[in-house]
Structure 1
Amino acid sequence: MTTESHPGLRERAAAALTAARARTAALTDPVTDQDLTAQHSPLMSPLVWDLAHIGNQEELWLLGRVAGRESLHPEINPLYDAFEHPRSERPKLPLLGPAEARRYAAEVRGRVFDLLERTPLEGSALLDDGFAFGMIAQHEQQHDETMLITHQLRRGEPVLTAPEPEAPYEAPLVAEVLVPGGPFTMGTSTEPWSLDNERPAHPRDTAPFWIDTVPVTNAAYEAFIADGGYREPRWWAAAGWRQIREHGIEAPLFWHREGPGDGQWLRRRFGVTEPVPGDEPVLHVSWYEADAYARWAGRRLPTETEWEKAARHDPATGRSTRYPWGDADPTSAHANLGQRHLRPARAGSYPAGASPLGVRQLIGDVWEWTASDFLPYPGFRAFPYREYSEVFFGPEHKVLRGGSFAVDPVACRGTFRNWDLPVRRQIFSGFRTARDV
């Protein structure tokens, strides 16, 4: 694809960058400078670090690698290197203050738009199809999701608002869907802004399996808790059992009981305390919790291959589509994405987003843990740098798929792969289960 054969490419890149910056502002403008510079959890950076890091990565890649320009402020580059300073240590660094960080990011963005107007979007791997600009838009949106996690961890009065999901809804649905066995194409070699770990497309084969029609709900997860799920070691991987015992975990993160006896389950969501809604997908559970629930239910987590087959394979044509519903970009009728809402929609929502087999909500609402370790595909090639994916490959990280309500469409597709440590609960993670035929 060339710029000439795809005249809307430059406009698409500009729109993606603009949307990401608008969301960054929406996450950083409503809070005080004190909240921006505070560390709300040792698991997360101060919001002001993310704000300047976004501008710094944009400068290093687009103004540096693409345009060959010198850094505007080379002395700050080490401060915003994510691999040089762990999150827990970043508040101690001489970071740019809120006003300085905003000015810096704005200056970089102005120069980037000038660059985008006159740079041919072809001729090198970084420029072909506008990849470098798409990569930076995705990077900013990924940090916006990280900042939204920080908002969820933040204590204090609510500062974010969004309308409630009002998606078309259908219930009851069949509990599970049979996915036929056989080959399908996993990954992509054609999605222009796909990242290195999604590539290349390659054949996979699966046995037939059953998969949940919708993600596991809060009500279903409450039944696991009520049945003593957190007190019975036989459901837990050894490392997961140690984790919940050492930290006194007995429910998803942000849940607590109120009232006499067992009481009612409540949750804290972006500063608001509310009853846990039974018909929403469960949120803020670790891989260990998802795995334990699946064992308790007599099921298992789907492998990453099974998840992608359920999400992309069309049995009628044999094709792997970009999304469960086909190749069209997602809209508000298909999925809960882009922080339009600050919660998952009810399980059973978005019939327009269903797969050909009828599996719902595979895209958006909650990231879904899979059984798989984060590993490279056959023929993997690190691009444009090893630190995006390659250094994380191995059994230490588990794969999540599908995105959440906090993920922007530019960083979410049927091939997109996320990964995290199996103990992580602050992320917007849920799951669905599967079973053998």
Structure 2
Amino acid sequence: MTDPALDAGTTRERAVASLVTARDRTTLLTSCVDGPDLTAQHSPLMSPLVWDLAHIGNQEEQWLLRAVAGQEALRPEIDSIYDAFEHPRAERPRLPLLPPEEARRYAAEVRARALDVLDRAAFTGTRLTEAGFAFGMIAQHEQQHDETMLITHQLRRGPQALTAPDPEPVPLFTGPSEVLVPGGPFTMGTSTEPWALDNERPAHRREVAAFRIDTTPVTNGAYQAFIEDGGYDDPRWWTAEGWAHVRRAGLTAPLFWQRDGRQWLRRRFGVTEVVPPDEPVLHVCWYEADAYARWAGRRLPTEAEWEKAARHDPAGDRSTRYPWGDAEPGPEHANLGQRHLRPAPAGSYPAGASPLGVRQLIGDVWEWTADDFLPYPGFRAFPYREYSEVFFGPEYKVLRGGSFAVDPVACRGTFRNWDLPVRRQIFSGFRTARSVEGA
């Protein structure tokens, strides 16, 4: 029998480490540029960086200090200012935002009190506190906003502000281009992952017919072939909505790409460079991913197919937490946590492959799937409807797997992301699949 004191100690250590890691990253992202860059809106799609900073503190105050600890509000007058559902991103620069130094002091005070609450937490009694869920939720929330702030840095014009080492070079991948995933049922979602969010729950059996899926995400080189073959000029490859969007938005290539003579260049965090052909393609919307798949005679995988490829271990007929098993992600498994500021070359991280040999399912690029964002059977919103439930429906498409900008605390085999099919500023790519005849 497990000692409850040991469980509490392990949970506390994990929660502290997750919160500290998130705050270190927040500090980096908000200290590498000066005040004007913090208060400016670098794109109408994104908030000013200073809004994200104070919003992180406000969410932490509301959930850890007020909801968990029952403390009185520190700054109740700012709740509405930092309510993401009350104020769309385009409106946020016009709000009476806390200046950068005041936002930092507020977030720091909240964090100091939250760590004191965590030091005395028992992790029992309510669903919010059980297994440290509220602390894990807040760590994930901060890391999600850190990824959002990194997107803002990519959109920001001006000199380079962030640096990181490149991924280790690897030989050109020469393995099989696709992997067969046998048909049959598997367990999708989770009912046991302690920090899983509501849209990942509950675990349920799902029948999936046999299919083949790309061994690696689609690369820049492969996507360039689509461009050179006139992919953006041929309505055969696009849905009606996608073709209308291409015409309306004037799309000709992934976001941040530009042609220079016979080669393609891209802008990446303030640096212009030649597009590397062996990296997974990045900054494409769902419509572009779907059109490429059609052009290639394939399709996007369904969300269930993606998760089966990522989690199903046929040897034990069980679903694992990650493609490589149940162990927490390490640097040998995946490109996560802003350790690098780019995807790793296709075929990297063989230690992170699934039992069937599918690579880079976690990290590098978010992968568009074919499906709308919908609830699982038996879904229950927790702890608030606005995290998932209000987004369910045909307007949003599901992305899976995480990107190089995702921290491990907010990335696992069951984690679900979603966005509008026109979005390209996110760190999104894709892989393709095809059905098996007669399956």
TM over 0.5: yes
Aligned to 1:399: 398
Report the Cα offset of residue 244 of structure 1.
1.1
Pick one of 16, 19, 27 that aligns with 1:17. 19
Report the Cα offset of residue 68 of structure 1.
1.1
Q: Which amino acid aligns with 1:193?
A: W
Report the Cα offset of residue 170 of structure 1.
6.0
Aligned to 1:4: 5
Report the Cα offset of residue 135 of structure 1.
0.2
Aligned to 1:371: 370
Q: Which amino acid aligns with 2:357?
A: G
Aligned to 1:65: 67
Q: Which amino acid aligns with 1:245?
A: R
Q: Does 1:236 pair with 2:226?
A: no
Report the Cα offset of residue 56 of structure 1.
0.2
* Counterpart-to-counterpart distance in 2, 1:298 and 1:414: 27
Aligned to 2:327: 328
Residues 140 and 410 of structure 2 are in contact (CA less than 8 Å); yes or no, is this contact kept in structure 1?
yes
Q: Does 1:434 pair with 2:438?
A: no
Q: How many residues align?
A: 434
Aligned to 1:290: 289
Distance 1:78 1:3, change over 3 A: farther
Report the Cα offset of residue 123 of structure 1.
1.0
Matches within 5 A, 1:407-418: 407-418=406-417
Matches within 5 A, 1:351-366: 351-366=350-365
Matches within 5 A, 1:154-303: 154-166=156-168, 171-259=173-261, 263-303=262-302
Secondary structure at the residue paired with 1:133? helix
1:294-348: CA deviations, max 9, x gaps? 0000000000000000000011110100000000000000000000000000000
* Counterpart-to-counterpart distance in 2, 1:19 and 1:220: 36
Report the Cα offset of residue 81 of structure 1.
0.1
Tell me the TM-score normalized by structure 1. Answer: 0.98
Report the Cα offset of residue 258 of structure 1.
1.1
Pick one of 12, 26, 29 that aligns with 1:27. 29
1:32-88: CA deviations, max 9, x gaps? 100000000000000000000000000000101011112111111100000000000
Distance 1:167 1:390, change over 3 A: farther
Distance 1:369 1:75, change over 3 A: same
Q: Does 1:38 pair with 2:37?
A: no
Residues 282 and 430 of structure 1 are in contact (CA less than 8 Å); yes or no, is this contact kept in structure 2?
yes
* Counterpart-to-counterpart distance in 1, 2:217 and 2:198: 28
Aligned to 1:79: 81
* Counterpart-to-counterpart distance in 2, 1:3 and 1:300: 48
Secondary structure at the residue paired with 2:284? coil
Note the aligned Cα RMSD (angstroms): 1.0
Q: Which amino acid aligns with 1:4?
A: A
Report the Cα offset of residue 225 of structure 1.
0.2
Which 4+ stretches in 1 moved above 4 angstroms?
167-170
* Counterpart-to-counterpart distance in 2, 1:399 and 1:313: 19
Report the Cα offset of residue 167 of structure 1.
6.2
1:162-186: CA deviations, max 9, x gaps? 0000165562110000000001000
Distance 1:428 1:69, change over 3 A: same
Secondary structure at the residue paired with 1:358? coil
Secondary structure at the residue paired with 2:434? strand
Residues 169 and 350 of structure 1 are in contact (CA less than 8 Å); yes or no, is this contact kept in structure 2?
no
Alignment gaps of 5+ in structure 1? none
Q: Which amino acid aligns with 1:116?
A: L
Residues 299 and 434 of structure 1 are in contact (CA less than 8 Å); yes or no, is this contact kept in structure 2?
yes
Secondary structure at the residue paired with 1:423? coil
Aligned to 1:146: 148
Tell me the TM-score normalized by structure 2. Answer: 0.98
Residues 314 and 321 of structure 1 are in contact (CA less than 8 Å); yes or no, is this contact kept in structure 2?
yes
Residues 172 and 278 of structure 2 are in contact (CA less than 8 Å); yes or no, is this contact kept in structure 1?
no
Secondary structure at the residue paired with 2:186? strand
Alignment gaps of 5+ in structure 2? none
Aligned to 1:123: 125
Residues 329 and 408 of structure 2 are in contact (CA less than 8 Å); yes or no, is this contact kept in structure 1?
yes
Report the Cα offset of residue 4 of structure 1.
2.0
Secondary structure at the residue paired with 2:217? coil
1:381-419: CA deviations, max 9, x gaps? 100000000000001000000000000000000000000
Aligned to 1:109: 111
Identical pairs, percent? 77
Q: Which amino acid aligns with 1:270?
A: F
Residues 126 and 384 of structure 1 are in contact (CA less than 8 Å); yes or no, is this contact kept in structure 2?
yes
Q: Which amino acid aligns with 2:46?
A: M
Residues 187 and 203 of structure 2 are in contact (CA less than 8 Å); yes or no, is this contact kept in structure 1?
yes
Report the Cα offset of residue 119 of structure 1.
1.7
* Counterpart-to-counterpart distance in 2, 1:160 and 1:397: 31
Q: Which amino acid aligns with 1:332?
A: P
Q: Which amino acid aligns with 1:98?
A: P
Secondary structure at the residue paired with 2:348? coil
Q: Which amino acid aligns with 2:358?
A: V
Secondary structure at the residue paired with 2:313? coil
